[in-house]
Amino acid sequence: MKARSPFGGREGALIVVGVLLYALCLAVLAVLTWQIVSFHSYESAGVWYGIPPDIPHAAVYPLGVNVSLEQYGENDLDRALEMVREGGYRWVRQRFPWNEIEPRPGEYDWSVWDRVVDAAESNELSIIAV
Protein backbone atom coordinates (compact mmCIF):
# COMPACT_ATOMS: atom_id res chain seq x y z
CA MET A 1 0.00 0.00 0.00
CA LYS A 2 1.18 3.43 -0.89
CA ALA A 3 1.66 6.08 1.86
CA ARG A 4 -0.31 9.25 1.40
CA SER A 5 1.05 12.67 2.07
CA PRO A 6 -0.69 14.33 5.02
CA PHE A 7 -1.16 17.55 2.96
CA GLY A 8 -1.95 16.09 -0.40
CA GLY A 9 -5.11 16.40 -2.40
CA ARG A 10 -8.00 18.50 -1.27
CA GLU A 11 -6.70 19.15 2.26
CA GLY A 12 -3.44 20.54 0.91
CA ALA A 13 -5.32 22.91 -1.39
CA LEU A 14 -7.43 24.16 1.54
CA ILE A 15 -4.30 24.80 3.60
CA VAL A 16 -2.71 26.79 0.75
CA VAL A 17 -5.90 28.84 0.30
CA GLY A 18 -6.06 29.46 4.07
CA VAL A 19 -2.43 30.63 4.21
CA LEU A 20 -3.01 32.94 1.22
CA LEU A 21 -6.15 34.42 2.84
CA TYR A 22 -4.22 34.93 6.08
CA ALA A 23 -1.42 36.72 4.19
CA LEU A 24 -3.99 38.86 2.34
CA CYS A 25 -5.65 39.84 5.63
CA LEU A 26 -2.27 40.82 7.09
CA ALA A 27 -1.50 42.94 4.02
CA VAL A 28 -4.89 44.71 4.22
CA LEU A 29 -4.39 45.29 7.94
CA ALA A 30 -0.94 46.78 7.30
CA VAL A 31 -2.31 49.14 4.61
CA LEU A 32 -5.18 50.27 6.85
CA THR A 33 -2.82 50.86 9.77
CA TRP A 34 -0.54 52.95 7.56
CA GLN A 35 -3.55 54.97 6.33
CA ILE A 36 -4.73 55.67 9.88
CA VAL A 37 -1.28 56.72 11.07
CA SER A 38 -0.67 58.99 8.08
CA PHE A 39 -4.16 60.54 8.37
CA HIS A 40 -3.62 61.21 12.07
CA SER A 41 -0.27 62.88 11.42
CA TYR A 42 -1.92 65.01 8.70
CA GLU A 43 -4.81 66.00 10.96
CA SER A 44 -2.62 66.80 13.95
CA ALA A 45 0.07 68.73 12.07
CA GLY A 46 0.78 71.94 13.97
CA VAL A 47 -1.19 70.84 17.04
CA TRP A 48 0.75 71.00 20.28
CA TYR A 49 0.08 68.56 23.05
CA GLY A 50 0.92 69.66 26.55
CA ILE A 51 2.43 73.04 27.34
CA PRO A 52 3.12 75.01 24.14
CA PRO A 53 6.59 76.45 23.60
CA ASP A 54 7.33 80.11 24.23
CA ILE A 55 6.64 82.45 21.34
CA PRO A 56 9.78 84.38 20.39
CA HIS A 57 9.49 88.17 20.79
CA ALA A 58 6.02 87.86 22.35
CA ALA A 59 6.81 90.64 24.81
CA VAL A 60 7.37 93.13 21.97
CA TYR A 61 4.39 95.47 21.62
CA PRO A 62 3.16 94.80 18.06
CA LEU A 63 1.40 98.02 17.05
CA GLY A 64 3.04 100.68 14.94
CA VAL A 65 2.16 103.38 12.45
CA ASN A 66 3.65 104.89 9.28
CA VAL A 67 4.73 108.49 9.75
CA SER A 68 6.36 111.30 7.84
CA LEU A 69 7.78 113.34 10.71
CA GLU A 70 10.20 115.50 8.74
CA GLN A 71 7.29 117.71 7.65
CA TYR A 72 6.60 119.04 11.16
CA GLY A 73 8.11 121.95 13.02
CA GLU A 74 9.37 121.49 16.60
CA ASN A 75 6.02 122.01 18.42
CA ASP A 76 3.97 120.14 15.85
CA LEU A 77 6.46 117.25 15.88
CA ASP A 78 6.12 116.77 19.64
CA ARG A 79 2.32 116.96 19.44
CA ALA A 80 2.20 114.46 16.56
CA LEU A 81 4.36 111.99 18.47
CA GLU A 82 2.28 112.45 21.64
CA MET A 83 -0.82 111.60 19.61
CA VAL A 84 0.89 108.50 18.23
CA ARG A 85 1.82 107.35 21.72
CA GLU A 86 -1.63 108.16 23.13
CA GLY A 87 -3.14 106.16 20.28
CA GLY A 88 -1.48 103.05 21.69
CA TYR A 89 1.35 102.77 19.20
CA ARG A 90 4.92 102.05 20.24
CA TRP A 91 6.60 101.82 16.83
CA VAL A 92 6.88 104.43 14.09
CA ARG A 93 7.95 103.58 10.55
CA GLN A 94 9.84 106.57 9.20
CA ARG A 95 11.36 106.97 5.74
CA PHE A 96 14.94 108.28 5.63
CA PRO A 97 15.57 109.30 2.00
CA TRP A 98 19.27 109.04 1.31
CA ASN A 99 19.22 111.74 -1.36
CA GLU A 100 18.21 114.24 1.36
CA ILE A 101 20.75 112.94 3.87
CA GLU A 102 23.58 113.05 1.31
CA PRO A 103 22.60 115.77 -1.21
CA ARG A 104 26.07 115.67 -2.82
CA PRO A 105 28.65 112.86 -2.66
CA GLY A 106 30.54 113.03 0.62
CA GLU A 107 28.36 115.84 2.06
CA TYR A 108 25.91 114.73 4.78
CA ASP A 109 23.10 116.63 6.51
CA TRP A 110 21.59 114.70 9.43
CA SER A 111 20.00 117.72 11.16
CA VAL A 112 16.38 116.98 10.18
CA TRP A 113 16.72 113.27 10.89
CA ASP A 114 18.52 113.74 14.22
CA ARG A 115 15.63 115.96 15.32
CA VAL A 116 13.11 113.28 14.27
CA VAL A 117 14.98 110.48 16.05
CA ASP A 118 15.50 112.53 19.23
CA ALA A 119 11.81 113.49 19.34
CA ALA A 120 10.70 109.88 18.86
CA GLU A 121 13.04 108.66 21.60
CA SER A 122 11.87 111.37 24.00
CA ASN A 123 8.30 110.13 23.44
CA GLU A 124 9.37 106.51 24.12
CA LEU A 125 8.71 105.40 20.54
CA SER A 126 10.88 102.97 18.61
CA ILE A 127 11.75 103.80 15.01
CA ILE A 128 11.71 101.44 12.05
CA ALA A 129 13.90 103.20 9.50
CA VAL A 130 13.16 102.60 5.83
CB-based contact 73:119 (threshold 8 Å): no
| 68-96 pLDDT per residue, tens | 999 999 889 999 999 999 999 999 999 99
**82 and 25 share one domain:** no
Axis-axis angle for helices 74-86, 111-122 (nearest 10)? 40
- Asked if residue 53 belongs to a domain, the reply is no
**84 and 112 share one domain:** yes
**74 and 116 share one domain:** yes
Q: What is the pTM of this model?
A: 0.55
Range of the domain at 42: 9-48
- Asked if residue 3 belongs to a domain, the reply is no
> How many angstroms separate the CA atoms of 90 and 126, rounded?
6
- Asked if residue 59 belongs to a domain, the reply is no
Please give the full DSSP string across 71-94, using - where no structure is assigned.
GS-HHHHHHHHHHHHHTT--EEEE
- Asked if residue 88 belongs to a domain, the reply is yes
| 12-43 pLDDT per residue, tens | 888 889 999 999 999 999 999 998 888 877 77
Coil, strand, or helix at residue 47? Answer: coil
- Asked if residue 57 belongs to a domain, the reply is no
